[in-house]
A and B are shown apart, each in its own frame.
Chain A
Amino acid sequence: MIGTRLAVAGLVAAALATGAAAQERDVRAELAARGAPAAFVEQVGALVDQTRAQGLPPGPLADKALEGWAKRVPPERVVLALEQVRARLGDGRQAARGAGLADPPGPVIAAAGEALGRGMAADDVRELIRTAPTADDAAAGLAVAASLAAQGLEMRAAVRAVHDAYGRGRGPNHLFELPSAVADLAARGVPMSDVARRIMQGGGLPLPPMVGGPGNGQGPPSGVPRGPPITPPGKATGKKQ
């Protein structure tokens, strides 16, 4: 079982680093093979090199360049996008360091930068990193929270869902199933507000039982009238008249 968990963690790390996988590829060669102009190839290569020299993972830049070229985005616009990605990576590294990782792994930097770029508060990014059991969990958690937000969940609710999943000892394999659970509920027409509530309830914080009220075993559900008073009512409560 432990081996399985480790295998999953390894695969997740690999998947999260899809961009990072690109860092191992020669982006210059790939762009050239796809017919990109030499000047653009060199511009991208230089940016990738600079990013690596800064200690940032260059994979996301390489991936963004390949995406832009595949979509036939004008080169100058691709370069602008690469600058944005690099800035996000810098922000991501700063957040990861703020969470106590002196030398954060590339996937964590990339995921933190992506999450910040999608509107996650820096405090939330740091907390998801700080409370994650492992670096792989941190990268997965950040990616999943950002994905849940992309699905329509309020960002804070998305962060809490991941946070609660951490608390229940769920690994990356389970984290990646959260968006499917959200999509399943949403596909059946459950509003995102209710989806958030159900996820939070699954996370261990349901609405508390009411004192003496209906539901939760302390009375009939809404609509079923309570029984007639024990006669006389006052005596049933033990109240001295």
Chain B
Amino acid sequence: MIGLRVAGALLALSSSLLSAQEASVFVGGARARYGDSASGTAGFVAARLGSASGPQAGQLDASVARFIDGGWALQVGAQGTAVWRTGSGATVAGVAAGAALSDFQNGRASGTAAVGPLAAFPLGASSLVVGAAAGVARTVDGVWNALGSASLRWQWTPAASVAFDAGVTGTAADTLRLADVSLALRVQAGAVRGAASAGLRVGSLDGPWGAAELVWEPVPRLAFEVAAGRYPRDLTGFADGLYAQAGLRLYPLRGPPAARRASPARRAPVTAHPRGDGRVEIRVRYAQPVRSLAIAGDWNAWTPVPLVPDGANHWSIALPLAPGAYKYALVADGEWTVPDGAATVPDDFGGQVGVLMVGGEDPAPLPDAAPSQ
């Protein structure tokens, strides 16, 4: 029964990857200095397929590196989860699987593959994730070993753009016994996101490790990525090393056509910005040339209020709105409409209305009045 569930989860992951909703190509260079004093510089091309569909998520990475002094290396990694919510509130349980493969010119392929259950328990503003996995490892000298691991992670997301992750993972393979204690931080600010992690491996392959990564996405289909770090000796027989890499990630495909059509918020033509004085600035980007533009919604019994021109194709107004969910429509030269690209729902009359969410500014002073009519 368990085998069937695992097989089902893997099948679901495979089908998710086959219908990848994100595909990207990374072109860059890396400089690595290994623990045994050997070092190398390589240029490489990597590809990534990612998919998240409901309770399933998966990612496949593959890269080919060419050293400037000759030789090549191939690496492939895949990981995925399929989860189910349990009947007890926000707790989820599921299956996680991961695999990695390395192959060098004139060398033997090595890698690991493991699958196992996981469960996540909400703890206030954080979550506790418990997991275990069993699988196999193939060492660089071609020896197959069974491996097993167990992990405990605590994840805390104090804000939408900041996340902490602390965990401990124990791994056993053949005669190796090792544990990793880790701490990670992930932040995002506008088009820039960064991640840093550090840890200590104790036991058979002891040593510190750490990594930092910075990604800047100046435009939708392009990202600059730099990363550096130190990785430890691993259980397939590779040496530890220091590395630095930099490159460009291109997104020639940002999801299948259906997914792109399902992304009306891409252009975000109407936005709400609380000003802190009890009013919310509504900004509207309306591409079509019009003489007048007004906004109406369920906050004022659908009474159009004129918007003020605010730059090319932009209009704005400050309204006394409390945090909440609102419906709206625009009146452009007397015609009711919703701007292209807005999040909409049917209006029950055969048309559409826009959906506008107004967030709060906690802990800033809050307005002390309900929305005015």
A-side residues, CB < 8 A to B, are 1, 4-5, 7-8, 11-12, 14-16, 18-19, 21-22, 25, 30, 63-64, 66-68, 70-71, 73, 77-78, 81, 84-85, 118, 127, 131, 140, 143-144, 146-147, 150-152, 154, 156-157, 160, 163-164, 166-170, 172-174, 176-184, 186-194, 196-197, 200-234, 236-240
Contact = CB atoms under 8 A, between A and B. Distances in A.
A140 to B, nearest CB: 7
A227 B236 CA distance: 11
Interface string B87-109: 00110100010111010100100
Contact of B90 (A140, A146, A166, A229): A166
B306 interface: no
Interface stretch (B4-12, B308-316, B363-371): B363-371
Give chain A's interface secondary structure class.
helix
A9 to B, nearest CB: 10
Contacts of B98: 208-211, 213
B32 interface: yes
B209 A217 contact: yes
Q: Which of A70, A200, A220 has the most CB of B within 10 A?
A: A220
Contacts of B194: none
Contact of B180 (A66, A77, A218): A218
A215 to B, nearest CB: 7
The 3 A-B residue pairs with the shortest CB-CB distance, nearest first, are A189-B220, A15-B324, A167-B122
B337 to A, nearest CB: 10
B298 interface: yes
Contacts of B165: 206
B290 interface: no
Q: How large is the interface on B (under 10, 10 to 19, 20 to 34, 35 or more residues)?
A: 35 or more
Contacts of A131: 89-90
Nearest to B238: A226
A182 B102 contact: no
Contacts of A160: 54-55, 85
B22 to A, nearest CB: 5
A168 B122 contact: yes
B265 A193 contact: no
Contact of A225 (B65, B126, B184): B65
Contacts of A190: 220, 254
A217 B211 contact: yes
Contact of B366 (A11, A212, A240): A11
B44 A223 contact: yes
Contact of A212 (B171, B227, B251, B363): B171
Given A21-B373, A152-B262, A210-B100, A217 B199 contact: yes
Given A230-B233, A237-B235, A193 B52 contact: yes
Given A81-B349, A186-B263, A191-B260, A169 B124 contact: yes
B277 interface: no
A220 B63 contact: no
Contact of B234 (A78, A184, A202, A212): A212
B197 A233 contact: no
Give the interface centre of B42, B122, B182, B238 by most chain A CB atoms within 10 Å: B238
Nearest to B35: A227
B175 interface: yes
A206 B247 CA distance: 25
A174 B191 CA distance: 21
B14 interface: no
B141 interface: yes
A194 B221 CA distance: 13
B83 A21 contact: no
B357 A180 contact: yes
A12 B359 CA distance: 10
B272 to A, nearest CB: 8
A154 B238 contact: no
B131 A208 contact: yes
Contact of A168 (B46, B125, B264, B343): B125
B44 A207 contact: no
